[in-house]
Structure 1
Amino acid sequence: MSDVRPVIGFIGVGLMGHGMAKNLVTKGYPLVVMGHRKREPVEHLKSLGAREASSARELAMACDIVHLCVTGSPQVEALMRGPDGLLAGADPAKRAGTIIIDCSTSNPVSTLALAAEAQARGVHFVDAPLSRTPKEAEAGTLDTMVGAAPEVFARIEPVLRCWAGQVVHLGPVSLGHKMKLINNFVAMGYAALYSEAMAIARKAGLSIEQFHAVIGSGRMRSPFYDTFMQWSLNHDENAHRFTISNAHKDMRYLASMAGELGAVNPIQADVKNLFAAMEAAGQGERFVPMLADFVAGINALPPANG
C-alpha cells in the first residue's frame, strides 16, 4: 500500500473552514486552498505549508479530494459548474476518482443533481455537513454526518477524522444534508423556545439569572443551551457564531424538503418565520443567540443585557 497521502483542496476557509483546513495541513496532508475574501486565513494556511489556487478549476486539477465549506447550494453549484468550476478541472484521465466533499449546509435536491453530474464526469460527490462551532473546528472536534457510497466513505474517513471528533456515515449521497437540516431544525427550535421563554419569564418578573438558575442546572440543559445563553448572560458574542441569515436559509431548505416529502411541519414553519422576521428587520448578520433580543423587543422589553 502506498504511503503517499492524497492532495486535499479546500474552498471556503471562513469561520468553520479555516480550522478544518488548519487541521488537515498540520496533520500532514498536502493542502491547496482557493482565495477567500478575507486574506488573513489564507495567508495563515500558506504559512503552514498550503498552496493557493486562483480558481476552482485550477484547484481541482491539483487535488484528489476537495472540501467545500460555503454558505449553501447556490455557492456550491457555482463552484461546481461552468468553465472555471471544479467539474471542468477534475480530469479522470489525470486523477481517477476525484472526490468532492460538500461540508456546507445545502439543499438535498441540489446535492442529488450535482452528484449525478459529477458521476457522469467520473467524479464522486459526497455530502458531509458539520455540527458544532468554530471553536471545535479549530480543535478538530467537529461532528459530521456523511452521505457517500461505502467505498468512497472508506477513502475519505481518515481525512474527515483530521477535523471531526465524531463521524457518522448515514448511507447514500444526500442523507448527510437531509440529517443536517433536521439537526438544525432541532437547534433553531431550541433557540426560538429559549428566546420566547426568557421573554415570558421577564414579563412575569423573573430575571435571566433566575431563569438560568433553574433551566441551566436541570434536565433541560444541553451544550447548545450553554453556548446560546452566553449572549444573554454575559454579552459574549463569540460563544455561538452562527448568523440569523444562515439559520433562516437552513429553515427554508428544510421547509422545501418537508414540502417535497408531503410532511406536516407546523412547528418548523413558525421557527422559520421567526428567523425570517429578524432577517427582514435588517438583523441577518447578528448571531443566533441574539434572537433573544429580537423576541424581547417584540414583547416591548429591552435586551436582556442592555
Structure 2
Amino acid sequence: MSAAGTIGCIGLGVMGEPICRNLVQKSGRRVIGFDTREAPLARLAAHGVCAAVGVADVMREADFVFLSLPSGREVAALCAGDEGLPAQAQRGQIIVDLGTSPPALARDLTERFAARGAGFADAPVARTRAAAERGELSVMVGAAPEIFAALRPLLENFATDITHCGPPGAGQVVKILNNMVLAETVVALSEALAIARSEGVDGALLFEALARGSADSFALRNHGMKALLPGEFPERAFSALYARKDLGYALDLARGQGLPVAGAENAAQLLERAIAAGDGERYWPVLSRAFTRSR
C-alpha cells in the first residue's frame, strides 16, 4: 500500500468539507474533491483543493479516496454496476467510507475492491461539525491491519482519536452503537429537562448539577447544554433524518440477533415524531420537542 500520493474526497457536505480542508492543509499532499454542488468546491479551492469534473476523475487520479456521503444507500449506488467505484478501482488504491453505513455493505465492498487489487476500509467519523472544523473527530476503523496502517497518518489530519475496531464492518458496528447510545442519552436528558421545568427547577441549574455528578457526559455538555437548553436546532447540522437512519441500522443489527432494544426503539419513535412534525432537516436533538408538544 502506498504511503504517499494524491488524496481524493467525494462528498463535501457538513463533515466532508472540513475533512477535505484539513487534509489539504495538513497532509502536504495534492487533494482533489468532487461534489454535485459548486459552493463547497469553490470554498475548498481557496485552500488548494483541485475540483474534479466527476467521480471518474477522482478514481483515476487518487491513491486514497475518501467517501463522505449521507448514508449507505448513496455509497451502494455509487458502487453499483459496471461503472461503479469497484469497476474503476486501481491496484493498490485504498477507498474509505467515512459515513455510517450497514456493516454488511462494508464487508461486501471489501471483497469487491479486493477483486480489483484495491483496499477498502469503513472508517465512520463521530463528533460534531465543530470538531470536524478543528480536526478533532473520532474515527472508528474496520479494515485489514495493513490497510489501517496505511490510512492512519491520513486520518490523523482530521481526527484526534482513531480506533482500529477490527476487520471490515467492525468500524460501522462500533459507530452505529455509539450513535445509538448517544440518541438514548439525549432522550434521557430531554426527559429530565422537561420534568425539571415542570417542577419549577431551572434547566441550566439542572444540567450544571448533572455535569458535576455521575450523570455527566459528552451528550450533556454538547447536546444538552448547547441545543436542548436554548432550544436551538438549526438546519445544516446532523439532522433528525440522519439520526433516524443511523438508529435504523442499530435496530437492524439487534433484530438480526433477536435482541430486544426498547431504548433504541423509543428514540427512533421520537425521531419519527419530529420528522412527521416537519423537523426532519433540523439538528437531531429536536426530538426533545416531543416533551413540550405533549404538554
TM-score by length of 1: 0.89
For residues 77-100 of structure 1, give each alpha carbon's deviation from its aligned partner in whole angstroms, at most 9, with x where no partner exists. Answer: 112223443223223xxxx22111
Aligned partner of residue 245 in structure 2, secondary structure:
helix
Equivalent position to 1:198, from 180, 193, 196: 193
How far 1:235 moved relative to its partner? 4.8
- CA distance in 2 between counterparts of 1:213 and 1:126 reads 40
How far 1:295 moved relative to its partner? 2.1
- CA distance in 2 between counterparts of 1:280 and 1:239 reads 16
Residue 162 of structure 1 aligns to which amino acid in structure 2? N
Equivalent position to 1:251, from 247, 251, 265: 247
1:73-88 equivalences in 2 (<5 Å): 73-88=72-87
Aligned partner of residue 133 in structure 2, secondary structure:
helix
Aligned partner of residue 44 in structure 1, secondary structure:
helix
Equivalent position to 2:215, from 220, 236, 246: 220
| Paired residues of 1:57 and 1:90 also in contact (CA < 8 A) | no
Aligned partner of residue 8 in structure 2, secondary structure:
strand
For residues 228-262 of structure 1, give each alpha carbon's deviation from its aligned partner in whole angstroms, at most 9, with x where no partner exists. Answer: 12123345546993211111000111111111222
Match of 1:303 in 2: none
TM-score by length of 2: 0.92
Residue 169 of structure 1 aligns to which amino acid in structure 2? H
Match of 2:155 in 1: 160
Match of 1:287 in 2: 283
Residue 31 of structure 2 aligns to which amino acid in structure 1? L
- 2:119 matched to 1:124? yes
Aligned partner of residue 97 in structure 1, secondary structure:
coil
Aligned partner of residue 130 in structure 2, secondary structure:
helix
How far 1:209 moved relative to its partner? 2.6
- 2:238 matched to 1:242? yes
Percent of residue pairs bearing the same amino acid type: 34
Alignment coverage as a number of residue pairs: 292
| Paired residues of 1:36 and 1:42 also in contact (CA < 8 A) | no
Residue 35 of structure 1 aligns to which amino acid in structure 2? D
For residues 129-165 of structure 1, give each alpha carbon's deviation from its aligned partner in whole angstroms, at most 9, with x where no partner exists. Answer: 0111111111111110100001111111111111110
Equivalent position to 1:269, from 248, 265, 268: 265
| Paired residues of 1:208 and 1:232 also in contact (CA < 8 A) | no
- CA distance in 2 between counterparts of 1:202 and 1:209 reads 10
Match of 2:292 in 1: 296
Structure 2: segments with no counterpart, 5+ residues: none
- CA distance in 1 between counterparts of 2:195 and 2:49 reads 51
- CA distance in 1 between counterparts of 2:70 and 2:199 reads 39
| Paired residues of 1:10 and 1:66 also in contact (CA < 8 A) | yes
| Paired residues of 1:127 and 1:148 also in contact (CA < 8 A) | yes
